[in-house]
Amino acid sequence: MRSILVDRLVALRGWRAGLAACVLGALSAAALPPVTAIPVLLLTIPGLLILLGSRAGWRGAAWMGFWFGFGLHLVGLYWITEAILFEAAQFWWLVPLAVPGLSVVLALFIAVPCALAWLARPGWPRVLVLAGGWTLADLLRQFTATGFPWNPLGSVWELPGRIGDVFIQPAAWVGVHGLTLLTLLLVATPALGRRAMVGGLAGLVLWAGFGVSRLGQPTSPAPDLTAVLVQGDIPQGEHIDAEFARRDFQHHLELTAQGVARLGTAPRVAIWPETASLYLLATDSNARSAIVDAAGGPGLIGTFRFDAQGRPRNSLMAITSGGPPVAVYDKWHLVPFGEYAPTWIPISIPTLPNGGMAAGTGPKTFHVPGLPPVGVLICYEAIFPAQIVDEADRPDWLVNVTNDAWFGNSTGPRQHLAAVRMRAVEEGLPVMRAANTGITAGFDAFGHEIARIGMNRSGVIDVSLPGRLPATPFARDGLWIPTWLGLLSVALGAMIPRLTRNSVTPPGMTR
């Protein structure tokens, strides 16, 4: 049966080969969170390798990679359409264009590694070049045209519960991009024969052993602090006026008071989601006093502010009294086309007058009386590994506030949550997350989920802040680690044929 399937893939040409690659890519999306059906990659990645090897030249291989990437991102990013539907009367025409257009761009980052892989000898050399090139392309994707490192293949290991905790631990050393490289090497083994598969299984056992061992590592003592995480569940698209702002604000105050009532005199901090306060806390002393009164302590509150030039900023403010905020953080990794208009786009965007929001200056650590040093990140910023912490002023924990209401009850908010979990492992820091419509959650420094409020629910949870870990290797060296691993993988793929002249080509791995 396997031989028949291989022969059929090898024989495909023209649009049929492109369609097969697209289907394989679309199936691969099932391995991503929240489905995490990892075994599908044992079919789809070997299938991609077979299609690459059956092309007559590197251009044909690039074309196969393009269609694979297009299918992967078309399915993996379908949730973006949900945001457009909130403004369907005005932007209905974007529905058939936005996700396919973005998928075309992102597919190029898979096409290039596939072309490079074709140039390598079939077998392990080709797999090493593909895995290394894919990893390097994902790193480039993080910085190209403002960056969009969503759904890296390394995230497939974020399975629910203990098993996921075990398999994501290597991210503390190599980051999610390094997990992508390891994943590709592992799932390609069915294309390389039985010995490779046995080796892959042994590697998986070692991987799990490392994860179990690391989960036993001691953390610093837990601070005496409870995070009161508020999820207002305010629907997106409601008409915003003074009455709406009042109701919204009062609702968050009431939820905060409910959470605090369970704590007695225990130290606490209230955390509200992104832009939860429509009252401008930078100037509204009454609103600040109301929050502190309800919380019985400091608050980390998502809100807006206007800078000296009159441009809006998406902010998180630390307040301890009716006086001025003791710390202010402005989101610096803004969403292109959603929050600002990129300067490289030669047209104006009607929904973003004056270029949209102004960006902050980068990662920041708050030093708030009564709280351990805390790093803050707003929404979209959580998807950027090694770009979330001020390493010159390293925090003891992280706070992520977000509003994923734009994306409905889709995979989008769940994939966003998975990114936050991965950042906890990479940095070795606990993360407290407040999301408007969900998912609000707390993670310890190992990425283990310790509390949650599900989607589309209004509520509040009290989470005792766990201890932190020492700075991980990835926290110290950042993206240099997966970069060097990717380069090493490509170099090995190029060198192995010179070192082993009598190599055997696995079935279907022809050129």
Using one digit for the tens of pLDDT, what is the confidence trace for 18-57?
999 999 999 999 999 999 999 999 999 999 999 999 988 9
User: Edge to edge, what strands does the sheet with 268-271 contain?
Assistant: 327-330, 312-319, 299-306, 268-271, 226-231, 459-464
Please choose, from the candidates 23, 18, 20, the residue with its C-alpha nearest in 3D space to the C-alpha of residue 8. Answer: 20
Pairing verdict, β 226-231 and 299-306: unpaired
**Token pair of 508, please?**
């279907």
Whether residue 505 is predicted with pLDDT greater than 70 in this model: the reply is no
Residue 333, classed as helix, strand or coil, is coil
Whether residue 138 is predicted with pLDDT greater than 80 in this model: the reply is yes
Omega before 39 within 30 of 0, i.e. cis:
no
* DSSP H helices in 389-467: 411-427
For residue 420, name the pLDDT band (cuts at 50, 70, 90): very high
Q: How many CB atoms lie within 10 A of CB 470?
A: 12
- The least confident of 315-319, 330-334, 399-403 is 330-334
Q: For 130-148, what is the mean pLDDT?
A: 94
pLDDT (tens digit per residue) in 231-256: 999 987 666 788 888 999 999 999 99
Region at 145 (left for phi over 0; alpha for psi -120 to 50; beta for the rest): left
Are 389 and 341 in contact by the 8 Å Cβ rule? The answer is no
Q: pLDDT over 70 for what percent of the chain?
A: 92
**Token pair of 143, please?**
């910085």
Q: Give pLDDT, residue 433.
A: 98
Q: Give pLDDT, residue 244.
A: 87
Q: What is the CATH number of domain 226-468?
A: 3.60.110.10
Q: How many CB atoms lie within 10 A of CB 459?
A: 16
pLDDT (tens digit per residue) in 184-202: 999 999 999 999 999 999 9
Catalogue the active-site residues. 274, 331, 379
The Cα 334–Cα 342 span in angstroms is 10
Q: Give pLDDT, residue 164.
A: 97
Distant-in-sequence, close-in-space partners of 461: CB < 8 Å, separation ≥ 6: 228, 229, 259, 440, 442, 451, 452, 453
Rg (CA), the chain: 24
Q: For 285-309, what is the mean pLDDT?
A: 94
Are 39 and 187 in contact by the 8 Å Cβ rule? The answer is no
Distant-in-sequence, close-in-space partners of 292: CB < 8 Å, separation ≥ 6: 298, 299, 319, 320, 321, 322
The Cα 457–Cα 439 span in angstroms is 9
**Token pair of 179, please?**
């997990």
Distant-in-sequence, close-in-space partners of 240: CB < 8 Å, separation ≥ 6: 278
The Cα 366–Cα 398 span in angstroms is 10
* DSSP H helices in 371-479: 411-427, 473-477
For residue 357, name the pLDDT band (cuts at 50, 70, 90): confident
The Cα 487–Cα 198 span in angstroms is 26
Q: Which helix (H) or strand (E) holds 227?
A: strand 226-231
Please give the mean pLDDT across all residues of the chain. Answer: 91
Q: Give pLDDT, residue 503.
A: 54
Domain boundaries, the chain: 2-216+476-499, 226-468
Q: Phi and psi (nearest 5°) for 300? A: -110, 105
Q: Give pLDDT, residue 52.
A: 94
pLDDT (tens digit per residue) in 56-110: 899 999 999 999 999 999 999 998 888 777 666 666 667 677 889 999 999 999 9
The Cα 100–Cα 109 span in angstroms is 15
Q: How many CB atoms lie within 10 A of CB 218?
A: 8
Q: For 227-234, what is the mean pLDDT?
A: 95
Q: For 149-156, what is the mean pLDDT?
A: 96
